[in-house]
Amino acid sequence: MNKNITPPITQRIGQIFLLLLLAFFILIPFLLGFWTSLLPTADISKGALWSSHISLSNYYTAITQTPIIRYLFNSLVISFFTMAVQLLFCSMSAYAFVFIEFKGRDTLFYIFLATMMLPFEAEVIPNFVTVRNMGLLNHYAVMIIPFLTSAFGTFMLRQAFMQIPKELREASEIEGLSHWRFYAKVVLPYSRISLFTLAAYSFLASWNQYLWPMLTTFSDSFRPVQDGLRQLQSQETFNNWGMIQASAAIVVIPTLIVLFIGQHYFKSGLNEGAVK
C-alpha cells in the first residue's frame, strides 16, 4: 500500500481495536489454560480466577505423578520415525514418477492420487485386524508402520521435483550418474524447502494422531501424548484442573516454540502447495 495515503486516525484506531479483539479471542483459551495451571485446584474448583498461592506446583505434580514426560517421549519417537521414513519413501516414489521412465507410470500415479480420496478413518477396521494379526498392537511400530508413506507427500514432492530441469538428468546420464546418485546429490538438495515442508507436515500429522493410537495402544510405555492426555483427563475429570492444565501446557509449549521457529519455512511451503 502506498505510504503517502495514510488512513484517517479514526480508521487506524478501528484497525487496532479489531486486531486486539481478534487476538483476544484467539488467545483466551491459551491464557486461561496457562493461568489456571498456576493456581491451586482448590481455588479453581471454587470458580476463583485469583489465588494467593500462585506456583508451579501443578507442573511438579504433573511431572512426578503422571507419565506425561513418558507420553511426550513416546510421541517424539513415533513422530520422528514416521517423519524420517516418510521423507525417504515419499521422495523415492516421487523421484520414480518424475525421473524414471517405465510402462504404466501415469496410471500408477493416478492410483496414488486416488488414495488421497480415501480417509484413513474409513479404513480403521481392516487395518486394526491387520496390525493385530501382525502382532504389532501396543508397540511403537503400530503407530509408525501404517504411515511410512503418504500419497499426499508423494504428490507434493513430485510437484517440486518437476521443477528440476530435465536436461540435468540427461546430462547426468551421459556422465554415467546412476539414479541413486542423481537422487541423492541433485534432486534432494535442490528440493530441500519442499522436503522441509513435508517434514513439518508429517511430524505434526503424526503428533496429532488421535483415533489410531487410542485403538492400538493400551499401556503407558507406548501411549503417545494425545491419547495420554485423554487418559489423564478421563481419570481426573473435575478433580484436578490445575494439574490437567499444567499437563496441557507441558504438551503445547514445545509445539508452539517449534511452530514459531519454523513458521517462516512452513508458511512459504504451505503456499507453494496451495497455489499449485
Partner 1 sequence: MDTQITNKNPQMRYKQRKEEKPLMATGLSYNKSKALRDRLYALIFLGPSLLVLIVFVFFPMFRTLYLSFFLTNNLGKPTVFIGFANYISLLSSSAYLHSLQATFIYVIAVSCLTLTLGLLLAQTASQKVRGISFFRTIFSGTMGVSVSVAAIFWLFIFNPSVGMLDQLANLLHLPAINWLTQPGWAMTAVVISTVWMNLGFTFLIFFGAIQSVPSTLYEAAQIEGVSKIYQFFHITLPMISPTLFFVSIITLIESFKSFGLIDLMTAGGPDNATNLLVYRIYQDAFLSGNYGLASTESVILALIIAFFTFIQFKVLEKRVNY
Residues 152-191 that bind partner 1 (CB under 8 A): 154, 175-176, 178-181, 183-184
Contacts of 137 (CB under 8 A, 6+ apart): 131, 216, 217, 218
**CB of 125 or CB of 167, closer to partner 1:** 125
Tell me the C-alpha distance between 18 and 30, whole Å. Answer: 19
- For residues 68 and 179, the answer to whether their CB atoms sit within 8 Å is no
Rounded least distance, CB 183 to partner 1, Å = 8
For partner 1, which stretch binds (CB under 8 A), given 22-30, 59-67, 135-143, 189-197? 22-30
Rounded least distance, CB 23 to partner 1, Å = 5
For partner 1, which stretch binds (CB under 8 A), given 54-62, 164-172, 189-197, 258-266? 258-266
Rounded least distance, CB 227 to partner 1, Å = 8
Tell me the C-alpha distance between 161 and 64, whole Å. Answer: 48
Tell me the C-alpha distance between 159 and 163, whole Å. Answer: 7
Tell me the C-alpha distance between 158 and 90, whole Å. Answer: 9
Interface positions, 220-239, toward partner 1 (CB under 8 A): 225-227, 229-230, 233, 238
Rounded least distance, CB 180 to partner 1, Å = 5
Rounded least distance, CB 233 to partner 1, Å = 6
Interface positions, 31-60, toward partner 1 (CB under 8 A): 32-33, 36, 44-45, 47, 49
Interface positions, 73-92, toward partner 1 (CB under 8 A): 88-90, 92
Per-residue cell: 138: 501396543
Q: What is the dihedral of CA 180, 183, 185, 190, to 10 degrees?
A: 180
**CB of 63 or CB of 145, closer to partner 1:** 145
Rounded least distance, CB 219 to partner 1, Å = 18
Tell me the C-alpha distance between 58 and 66, whole Å. Answer: 11
**CB of 64 or CB of 264, closer to partner 1:** 264
* 93 makes contact with partner 1 (CB under 8 A): yes
Residue-by-residue DSSP string for 171-186: HHHHTT--HHHHIIII
**CB of 1 or CB of 52, closer to partner 1:** 1
- For residues 232 and 68, the answer to whether their CB atoms sit within 8 Å is yes
